[in-house]
């Protein structure tokens, strides 16, 4: 019987303390450059919400896509400076850094070899797959990241429906040295029952090493409050191998 079950039996679990993570590694808080915060006021409200959760640092990760969000390191870092200034003026006690969430598209390898990449921590880099299907250049991009000295992290691995139930693909990513990030709100059913089930299975197998909010708007933070009592979130946060705490 698990420790949580012994302590609480069938009762509802208390909310986790997100502050125990220290750092959030996936969010969209730089205004006006992707589908996250629209204004600087949005950014400040969202970052204040993360501080109220107890986070000490957020590493915000705007989308980089060749066909839609054509963000560059210069665009992202310029936006970061504006956000940092506003956070300081608002008196919010939290550290704000920025990297990016790179879509595996036709231009990604070129960006990697041109060293046009924003990483965080120990040269970690966050990347995502198109939701339409596995891209043909996925393995090439992983190889390019690693050859260039980056440590790739696959964003919200549980959300790729085309991999649900295909554990060979998950094992292939792990065998290639790719770390796996899970979205907190996936465990609530927000993205659908299949995503929730996949997220829970990934937690049970102990293969998740980063936990992220993927916060775009205040609705995501409201849902995080509800998700905080979920059993599998408790189980994941009990792990001692979460990289969030080292960033």
Q: For the purposes of burial, counting CB atoms within 10 Å of the CB of 18, is it exposed (0-12), middle (13-18) or buried (19 or more)? A: buried
Q: Answer yes or no: is pLDDT of 1 > 50.
A: no
pLDDT of residue 2: 52
pTM (predicted TM-score): 0.94
| For residues 32-49, average pLDDT | 98
| For residues 75-103, average pLDDT | 98
Q: Which two tokens stand for residue 3?
A: 């420790």
Percent of the chain with pLDDT over 70: 96
pLDDT of residue 3: 54
- pLDDT digit string (tens) for 211-232? 999 999 999 999 999 999 999 9
pLDDT of residue 4: 52
Q: Which domains are delineated in the chain? A: 13-246 (3.20.20.140)
**Integer Cα distance of 238 and 83 in angstroms:** 32
Q: Tell me which H or E stretch contains 103.
A: strand 101-103
Find the radius of gyration of the CA atoms of the chain: 18
Is residue 177 within 8 Å of residue 150, measured between CB atoms? no
pLDDT of residue 83: 98
pLDDT of residue 131: 96
pLDDT of residue 8: 46
Q: Answer yes or no: is pLDDT of 10 > 90.
A: no
More confident residue, 9 or 202: 202
């Amino acid at each position: 019987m698990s420790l949580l079950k012994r302590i609480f039996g069938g009762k509802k679990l208390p909310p986790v303390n997100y502050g125990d993570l220290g750092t959030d590694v996936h969010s969209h808080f730089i205004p006006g450059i992707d589908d996250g915060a629209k204004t600087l006021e949005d950014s400040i409200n969202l970052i204040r919400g993360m501080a109220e959760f107890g986070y000490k640092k957020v590493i915000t990760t705007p989308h980089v896509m060749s066909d839609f969000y054509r963000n560059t390191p210069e665009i992202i870092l310029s936006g970061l400076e504006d956000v940092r200034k506003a956070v300081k003026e608002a008196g919010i006690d939290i550290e704000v850094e920025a990297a990016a969430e790179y879509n595996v598209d036709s231009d990604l390898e070129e960006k990697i070899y041109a060293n046009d990449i924003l990483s965080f921590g120990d040269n970690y880099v966050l990347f995502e797959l198109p939701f339409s299907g596995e891209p043909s250049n996925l393995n090439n991009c992983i190889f390019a990241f690693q050859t260039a000295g980056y440590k790739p992290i696959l964003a919200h691995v549980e959300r790729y429906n085309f991999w649900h139930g295909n554990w060979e693909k998950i094992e292939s990513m792990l065998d290639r040295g790719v770390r796996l990030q899970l979205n907190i709100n996936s465990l609530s059913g927000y993205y659908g029952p299949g995503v929730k089930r996949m997220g829970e299975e990934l937690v049970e197998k102990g293969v998740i090493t980063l936990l992220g909010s993927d916060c775009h708007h205040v609705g995501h933070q409201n849902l995080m409050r509800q998700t905080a009592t979920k059993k599998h979130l408790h189980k994941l946060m009990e792990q001692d191998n979460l990289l969030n705490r080292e960033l």
